[in-house]
Amino acid sequence: MVIRHAEMADLPAMMDMFARARAFMASSGNPNQWVDGYPSAEVAMRDIEARNAYVCAGADGSLLATFCFIVGDDPTYAVIEQGRWLNSRPYATIHRLASSGIEAGMALECLRWAASHGLDLRADTHADNHIMQHILLKFGFISCGIIYTHNGTPRLAFHYVAD
């Protein structure tokens, strides 16, 4: 498997993965996290143009997962309630993680790749997204409190401290 920057040619596969993730979340008790077509093609294109979007490609070239990896401060993480971040060191954020469903364990592979950059990691997810919460905690993230997204909705915030 290879993790590489996403290209515009990857956009249709990325959108399929986002649609699959929305359906999976809804069927597993989390129908309110990615609503109204989020993440949209426009959001994905901005991520690709900013070189923050990544894809995981199998040996045959098929796309297995996608995610956004952003190094630097995330404005939505500036305020955290009902807790605090574990430290104020530089960090990278993981957003918009989705899988094709072809191969199991892709979320952990994406997290391993992100952690290999040696920075602390931060992530957030909806309170109803118990599957992502489990994955983050299994990887070693610590639940830190609540942040609010760009549209004001609350998310559980997680922090992974690099060694």
Tokens matching residue 123: 């992530």
Q: Cα separation of 16 and 98, whole Å?
A: 9
Please state the rounded mean pLDDT for residues 140-159: 96
Residues 100, 63 contacting (CB under 8 angstroms): yes
Q: What is the pLDDT of residues 18-69, one digit of tens each?
A: 999 999 999 999 998 998 889 999 999 999 999 999 999 999 999 999 999 9
Q: What is the pLDDT of residue 36?
A: 87
Residues paired with residue 120 on neighbouring β-strands, in sequence order: 91
Q: What is the pLDDT of residue 110?
A: 97
Residue 3 has a CB neighbour count (10 Å cut-off) of 19
Rounded to 5°, angle at Cα 136 from 85 and 58 = 130
Q: Cα separation of 141 and 98, whole Å?
A: 18
pTM score: 0.95
Q: Which residues of 81-104 are buried (b: 16+ CB within 10 A; e: fewer)?
A: eeeebbeeeebbbbbbbbbbeeee
Average pLDDT, the chain: 96
Rounded to 5°, angle at Cα 140 from 107 and 83 = 110
Q: Cα separation of 26 and 128, whole Å?
A: 10
Please state the rounded mean pLDDT for residues 151-155: 93
pLDDT at residue 162 is higher than 90: yes
Closest residue by Cα to residue 139 from 104, 115, 157, 117: 115
Please state the rounded mean pLDDT for residues 7-23: 97
Q: What is the pLDDT of residue 111?
A: 98
Q: What is the pLDDT of residue 150?
A: 87
